[in-house]
Structure 1
Amino acid sequence: MRLDKFLAQCGVGTRKDVRTYIKDGMVKVNGQVITKPEIEINENDDVIEYLDKVVTYTGKVYYMFHKPGGCITARKDAIRKTVFDFFEGINMNGVFHVGRLDKDTEGLLLLTNDGEFEHKLMYPEKHVEKTYFFWALGSLDEEDRKKLESGISIGKGEKLTKPAKIEIDKCEMYKEFEQETCIGEFYKMDSRRYDQPVVSGYLTISEGRKHQVKRMLKAVGCFVIYLKRISIGGLTLDESLEKGQYRLLTEVEIQKALGEV
């Protein structure tokens, strides 16, 4: 492994940062100062030091996290709770979130220190599908479905969205919907408007534009009041994980996420 990649994966700094550290003589390999970032090292046998402290290689890690609503997808924040705050006592140096979920969005979030894994999942040309379950005020007819499935405009000057998949779960009035679900925990409707239509379903996209699911549904007259990501690629959220809980992915699950199974 390259020395700069090793140090970045161990959380010493970004790839750019560690290159500077190496060139400035802050890094030793087996007791010798090394100033070339591209030098190959054996991460298991060589002794790597940064500022005279041994850097331990933990290897690649892949976490499945059941993100609850109300926390932000960030490493730290002075005011708001972040997803990393749930990993108390775990060495998260070098670990980052793969993509992001809005503050009010729940569900599957992956965290890793493997940059190649993130690239394969998040870059648009990879076409990795992500499925979301939603509740929205409004209704969806056949014409709306065709628009979502063929591509729709969600912003001035933006390209049409790529073809999506839509599956309708329920279409009812808010009053009945509230009685059958826990929707009241997430959205409070004025009782005088209980005749408001509500639709639930699953939307699968292969892009990652900002607020994309909400904007796509808004473009067909629906206002999202609950959103949960349930799958990435072939990997589905483990529903045995309570909100705020996490676990390591298995090798098979890593392959499923990448579409290799």
Structure 2
Amino acid sequence: MRLDKYLSDMGVESRSVLKREIRKGLVKINGEIVKDPSMEVQPGNSEIVYKDEPIHYEEFSYYMMNKPVGVLSSTEDRKQKTVLDLFSDKHRKDLFPVGRLDKDSEGLLLIMNDGALAHKLLSPKMHIEKKYLVEIPGKISEEELDRLRQGIQYDTDLIAMPAKARCLSSTEEGSRVEVIIMEGKFHQIKKMFLALSTDYVVTKLQRLSMGPLHLDPALAPGEYRKLSEEEVQALKNCF
């Protein structure tokens, strides 16, 4: 791997900037100044320092974020803030959110650059459970929850897979429902509740868990952290 690509992958700077900085002698490999951006390096076999800061290479990076309301689950947008805009520290440029939470939804969002793992996590065939807290106006009944459990038709030609649903609280003013699904189609949960009643406009949608991972209560909205090795392994072991 080229030296400039190694550093660029780790989010240090762009390749064009790094080429200039390397030629200025700002990079050391095993204690020796290197000025050739094209020099081949082996990740893990060399100590690489950029501006006196050791840069360790990771093939894959995994993060958990508590996505706040008002932010897009995408990699970039010219007009609106995305989840990657919330990263305050250096990060690789190939990160992407696993699936999506609507702009007005919140909660657990995984962000990584492991395409194969992300594909498995999102595939309905893998039966990865995603748990949500849903708030709606009005009092929901057990009969209505049973329709969600049986698999409700929520669009002209779309029928949801049977969901797990339990009422956490319900009054005439509003209901709080825990819903677990294994899909994630466009506005699916919102449409599922509207299929029960046009009065059930979702006022809050928060993802609580995805597979074996639960939203870290220490993360405030907009905060994120790297997954531990144990958490990454748990994701890989759930297939």
Name the TM-score, length of structure 1 as normaliser. 0.69
C-alpha displacement of 1:59: 2.4
C-alpha displacement of 1:57: 4.2
1:54-203 alignment, distance < 5 Å: 57-158=57-158, 160-174=159-173, 198-203=174-179
1:240 corresponding residue in structure 2: 218
C-alpha displacement of 1:142: 2.2
2:189 corresponding residue in structure 1: 213
C-alpha displacement of 1:173: 3.2
**Could you tell me the percent identity over the aligned residues?**
36
Q: Distance in 1 between matches of 2:182 and 2:10?
A: 30
Contact kept in structure 2, 1:234 and 1:259, CA below 8 Å:
no
Structure 1 residues 47-72: Cα deviation after superposition (integer angstroms, max 9, x where no partner): xxxxxxxxx84321110000000111
The amino acid across from 1:256 in the alignment is A
Q: What root-mean-square deviation, in Å, do the aligned CA atoms of Structure 1 and Structure 2 show?
A: 2.8
Q: Does 1:230 align with 2:173?
A: no
Contact kept in structure 2, 1:132 and 1:227, CA below 8 Å:
yes
C-alpha displacement of 1:138: 2.8
Count of aligned pairs between the two proteins: 201
SS of 1:66's equivalent in the other structure is: strand
Name the TM-score, length of structure 2 as normaliser. 0.75
C-alpha displacement of 1:80: 1.2
C-alpha displacement of 1:117: 1.5
The amino acid across from 1:138 in the alignment is G
Structure 1 residues 164-191: Cα deviation after superposition (integer angstroms, max 9, x where no partner): 00010111133xxxxxxxxxxxxxxxxx
Structure 1 gap ranges (5+):
13-27, 32-41, 47-55, 175-197
Q: Distance in 2 between matches of 1:235 and 1:81?
A: 25
The amino acid across from 2:9 in the alignment is C
1:249 corresponding residue in structure 2: 227
Would the alpha carbon gap of residues 139 and 257 (structure 1) be closer, same or farther in structure 2, given more than 3 Å must change?
farther
Q: Distance in 2 between matches of 1:30 and 1:71?
A: 39
